[in-house]
Structure 1
């Protein structure tokens, strides 16, 4: 696996077009059979609509791409089968929540989810509700995911400017540090209390990361690569 590539940009130009994914059409029967099997394993999986990308373009100032809509079953099969269409990428926003004492807050995905056991920042593959006209609003997607996963609202954190795009194969994570005026332990307890009130929370645990020594194998490479840039070397 190649090392993640970083692009720091000021603007995002992610525009939906009318492109139809040949993979989803050509492999329809196999995709449906795969999803039926995955639902037997995880009955809570839902075949909703998601947004993926193609034709990623980076300049010194911006990240632009063409966005298209597909069903979750096609996305899941593409992922589970090792990304057979390399011309498509999964681009998503993530909010790197950082507490007042410098701890980053990450969530562990619950057993009923498609990413069970993985540990990363609040975020996820965008869906049509994140569109403003034909423009994908990554900031709104991040706010929605944070509210759903942690209970935190936009008034609970301060957002910086610009974006850090981490390219790792067919994944492009679009990250921004979000500052929370609360110590790490208190913030973890606050989110955990919110999860306890949910019937089927997406997250099953909250992890604090204060240094590279807190990294685990459950954290994707793009997460640890991004975090490693947040502390001075040595």
Structure 2
């Protein structure tokens, strides 16, 4: 199967069947020395980095409205080297975005904190899949979405209205799985609550909220995959 899905187009997704393989990822096995060397350089430049556990894909395909794939738990240090060697690596990255839609239809994103790998970049609150996000070996995308939003912004999305479907956008840099989460509060109120939460954190992951009110309202530092998602939302697509 490897990686067999359309690129650079937003796909409707009825279900995500991505399973966690207990074995090591081939990329981690064949690049152990380079991973260690690169991690020493990365942590020398940014001592705040933590070598936790994330997952990397070894297979992903789009079949009949479903994303089907296999992934493996790897150290974050492995992921950091893969970012530099992703072409023809036999590995890809998938992650999830809860697209936070305020009561006034504005989108509420976040800007990452200065000590993070993506410092200053703007996207929806999110993080890589981790082993905690899997149930009986199958990824729970909504659990990941709500967990990451809660950790980064303090917002509880458990009662938010979810979009009927997932959607996905696959590019050369990775595959984002996203879903609208609608709440009643206007964007300014959500931004106020996020800012208040960030102020209580000793080492917040994010700098603060970013409100996006239309498809032309693109903030500085916007991650490349975000523009088509923003255009999709304000076009009223589903």
TM-score bracket for this pair, using the shorter chain length: over 0.9
Q: Would you say the 8 A contact 1:9–1:62 is kept in 2?
A: yes
| 1:208 Cα deviation from its structure 2 partner | 0.5
Cα distance in 2 for partners of 1:180, 1:187 equals 9
Q: Would you say the 8 A contact 1:4–1:221 is kept in 2?
A: no
Query: Which stretch shows the higher mean deviation, 132-141 or 16-25?
Result: 16-25
The answer for the alignment partner of 1:20 in structure 2 is 24
Query: Which stretch shows the higher mean deviation, 21-30 or 43-52?
Result: 21-30
The answer for the alignment partner of 1:135 in structure 2 is 138
Q: Give the secondary structure class of the aligned counterpart of 2:225.
A: helix
Cα distance in 1 for partners of 2:157, 2:163 equals 12
Cα distance in 1 for partners of 2:92, 2:125 equals 19
Cα distance in 2 for partners of 1:50, 1:182 equals 33
Matched, 1:221 2:232: no
Matched, 1:70 2:64: no
Q: Would you say the 8 A contact 1:4–1:166 is kept in 2?
A: yes
Q: How many residues align?
A: 231
Q: Would you say the 8 A contact 2:103–2:186 is kept in 1?
A: yes
The answer for the alignment partner of 1:188 in structure 2 is 191
Matched, 1:104 2:107: yes
Unpaired segments of 5 or more residues in structure 1? none
Deviations 1:79-109 (A, max 9, x none): 0x14144432111111000100111011011
| 1:4 Cα deviation from its structure 2 partner | 1.9
| 1:33 Cα deviation from its structure 2 partner | 1.7
Deviations 1:46-81 (A, max 9, x none): 1011112132111232111111111100101110x1
The answer for the alignment partner of 2:164 in structure 1 is 161
- How much is the aligned-residue C-alpha RMSD, in angstroms? 1.8
Deviations 1:141-186 (A, max 9, x none): 1111010001011345221221110101140000001001101111
Query: Which stretch shows the higher mean deviation, 133-142 or 3-12?
Result: 3-12
Q: Would you say the 8 A contact 2:35–2:77 is kept in 1?
A: yes
Q: Cα gap change, 1:133/1:77 in structure 2, threshold over 3 Å: closer, same or farther?
A: same
Unpaired segments of 5 or more residues in structure 2? 1-5
Cα distance in 2 for partners of 1:18, 1:216 equals 40
Deviant stretches of 4+, over 6 Å:
none
The answer for the alignment partner of 2:202 in structure 1 is 199
Cα distance in 2 for partners of 1:129, 1:18 equals 13
Cα distance in 2 for partners of 1:3, 1:133 equals 29
Q: Would you say the 8 A contact 1:151–1:191 is kept in 2?
A: yes
